[in-house]
Amino acid sequence: MEYIKSCIAVTIAVTIAIVSTIVVNSASLDTQDKVNTAINGALSYRFGDFSTNSINDCLKELSKNAGDYSSDWYYIAMSRYGINCDHKESINSLKSVVDDFYKNGLENTKVTDMQRVALALLSCESEITDVNGHNFLADCTYNRENYAPLDKQGVNSLAYALILLDSKDFSVPTSAKLSRNDILEKILQKELPNGGFSIVSNAPDVDVTAITLQSLAPYYNNDKVKPVIDRALNYISKVQQTSGTFKSFGKENAESTAQVIIALTSLNIDILTDKRFIKNGNTALDGLMSFSMVDGGFCHIQGYSSNNMATYQSLCALVSYFRYLNKQTGFFSFSKKDVSQKATELISVDKSNTNNSSYSKYDKKANNPKKNVPATETIESDTKEIKTKKNTQSPKSNSTESKSTETVSIETVNEYPTAIIDSQYENDQKYYSINRDKTMVSEKTGTPIEIIYVFLIIMVAYLILLYIKTGGIK
């Protein structure tokens, strides 16, 4: 009798555990379904009636403006989502843009434009170490100094140089102007006293800090890098709004929120469960989806209509989180070798002179959208020249600034390259159709539900047989 009762108790406990697993798996699938829906909505906003049958037409459309951030980031986001962007017309158009860079003089070209195009070429599965005879990778990363300072555009261009080098674990020759360590050290030296990063001022900027985190993510295990990342994460946590969003230029906006999501997922942080990034019950994903519109696009700030830039940056963030949910490689990793595995052995940085949910919310859409964002709030502006004091002291120094000035060419928040590329691991080689179903989405998450059902049936059958054999419990 006691044996029978024990068997039944164990069976009930196992059944409860399995049912709990089913519930968790179902919740995970629901999250992925909603992210999938948002991704496909953003693609539909850009391309109209988006479907697997129109992918080639979409790539042709992008090729018309190849080299412009409004096209390049779609290449990147689409490839990261699993769409094969190996498209001859697109590759040729991007290579033509590279030729124009050299014709116009690299010293006259913004290196972040070059880096973005390089990432777009990689997303189209094209070589970047030999683009029509040019070592394009070298000229926008470790040999940029042959034409202009790599950090002429601030930490942003340094960050994307590092991202590019790590995207496929590219080696840097000993003859290079800058080593990988040199670039990393330059980034760390730009940390502000409160843990954030900015282009020219001593006031941290959410977008710049998030992009810097994206570049540092593979090096988190390094003793010199980890505390810098932790301080930046602390800053990001403090400035998150109660709605889950993030601000830039005093406005809660989709782009800043998207940048943070890419940074957190790059660092393998679960944005739905990490309490540091949940405010008033709202996650960063809640915040991002509050900018979603009925047409599938995203608005820059609430109260306005869908905006192309807000849409592709949000798309990049959604794809980054999609990859996180499916346990795929990070948004920036193309290598089969995990870059983070070498983090503890790669970097030796001298910093002696440096400063140290509820998804029903996703059904909300921005109401009464206005047609255009006012000029003072637009995110479509181009490069601007800013006169800034050149401080010859460390960022933490209180000494008097030098009287000399320099002109720093920076990009406004809209132009920050927002979603990058990945190489596939061994388990990430195939491309999927764009209209994904639950079976595909769940293939790398949890236990297949069919196996759970079979196990439950076996357990129930066992209990029934046991009951019949013993004549029931008396």
Look at residue 276 and tell me whether its pLDDT is greater than 90: yes
Long-range contacts (CB closer than 8 Å, 24 or more residues apart) made by 114-118: 114/139, 114/140, 115/140, 115/141, 115/157, 115/160, 115/161, 115/163, 115/164, 115/417, 116/69, 116/72, 116/73, 116/160, 116/417, 117/66, 117/67, 117/72, 118/164
**Rg of the chain on CA atoms, in Å:** 25
Six-digit token pair at 28?
Answer: 């995970």
Q: Is the confidence at residue 455, as pLDDT, over 60?
A: yes
* Least confident interval from 10-14, 47-51, 308-312, 362-366: 362-366
Say which amino acid occupies 43.
Answer: L
CA gap 226, 231 in Å, rounded:
9
2-470 fold: Glycosyltransferase (1.50.10)
3-state secondary structure of 162: helix
When mean pLDDT is compared across 53-62, 183-192, 273-282, the lowest value belongs to 53-62
Residue 450 has pLDDT above 90, yes or no: no
Kindly report, residue by residue over 400-441, the tens digit of the pLDDT.
333 333 333 333 333 333 333 222 222 222 222 222 222 222
Amino acid at 295: D
Summarised one tens digit per residue, pLDDT across range 236-248 is 999 999 999 999 8
Neighbour count for residue 284 (Cβ, 10 Å): 30
Q: Is the pTM of this model over 0.75?
A: no
Give the residue ranges of DSSP H helices in 387-448: 438-441
Q: Which helix (H) or strand (E) holds 23?
A: helix 2-47
Q: What is the pLDDT of residue 183?
A: 97
pLDDT at 280 over 80: yes
Give the model's confidence band at 6: pLDDT under 50 very low, under 70 low, under 90 confident, else very high. low
Asked if residue 255 lies in contact with residue 265, where contact means CB atoms within 8 angstroms, the answer is no
Q: How far apart are CA 348 and CA 173, in angstroms?
A: 18
Positive/negative CA dihedral, 271, 156, 224, 240: negative
* pLDDT at residue number 374: 39
> Comparing 60-74, 86-100, 421-435, which segment has the lowest mean pLDDT?
421-435
User: How far apart (Å, rounded) are the C-alpha atoms in residues 146 and 124?
Assistant: 27
- Phi and psi dihedrals of 409, rounded to 5? -90, 120
Of 220 and 367, the structure prediction assigns the larger pLDDT to: 220
Alpha helices, DSSP H, located in 201-280: 206-216, 226-239, 254-266
Give the percent of the chain with pLDDT over 70: 67
Please compute the mean of the pLDDT values over residues 73-85 and round it to a whole number. 93
| Beta-carbon-side half-sphere exposure of residue 457 (alpha carbons within 13 Å) | 6
pLDDT at residue 142 greater than cutoff 90: yes
How high does pLDDT run on average in the chain?
Answer: 77
Q: In the chain, where are the structural domains located?
A: 2-470
At 466, is the secondary structure helix, strand, or coil? Answer: helix
**pLDDT (0 to 100) of residue 138:** 98
Mean pLDDT lowest among 61-70, 206-215, 334-343:
334-343
Cα–Cα distance, 314 to 293 (Å, whole number): 12
pLDDT at 449: 53
Q: What length is written for the chain?
A: 474
